[in-house]
Amino acid sequence: MKVLAAKDIFAEMEGYEFHYFDCWKEVLSKSQKWEVHLEVAKDEKKKKEAKSKEAEKRKASDDEDNDNESLSKRPMGVKKAKDEEACRRMLKEQREKDRKILENQIQLNRERFELMQRRDDREVLGKDLTGLDDDVREYYQFLREEILQRMREKKMSQASEANNE
């Protein structure tokens, strides 16, 4: 009944009949977005039927919350879903780029450290100990032993890695 009355009102106001009634009846009236619209309309009708002004004032804040809740039940639109997916994809790509940059920086820092250590090791190993105090000479000899031990361990680990391959 209400639908027929709405069709008549539309025809009077616009001067022609509503051409998409079958579409509305078959598709739109059953869509979740339309159901949300109907729920909101029912809520508004309930507000108008309230008898006392005090009850209306109390319900106003509750109804606004209910309106927001019913709107939040509405499914996400296609455009918003695409935008969110594109945003997620961009964030994932950016994280991957950041991870690669960080890995490169770590590798460069390792190489830089190894170069500095080799330079320092060469300096210690090439130091002339003939004119030094006994304490200083002992210190440099201790450093030389550490350097040589580290070099032996590195050579052994490289040899074991080559055998494993």
Residue 123's Cβ-count burial label (10 Å; 0-12, 13-18, 19+) is exposed
This prediction's pTM: 0.43
pLDDT of res. 64: 59
Residue-wise pLDDT tens for the chain (165 aa)?
A: 677 788 888 888 888 887 777 776 766 666 776 677 777 777 777 777 765 556 556 655 565 555 555 555 677 788 888 999 999 999 999 999 999 999 999 999 999 999 999 999 999 989 898 888 999 999 999 999 999 999 999 888 888 888 887
For the chain, the domains span: 2-76, 77-115, 127-165
Contacting residues for 3 by C-beta, under 8 A, at least 6 apart: none
pLDDT of residue 16: 83
148 vs 121: CA distance, rounded Å? 9
| Burial (0-12, 13-18, 19+ Cβ within 10 Å), 152 | exposed
- What are the helix (H) ranges across 15-77? 21-26, 32-49, 53-72
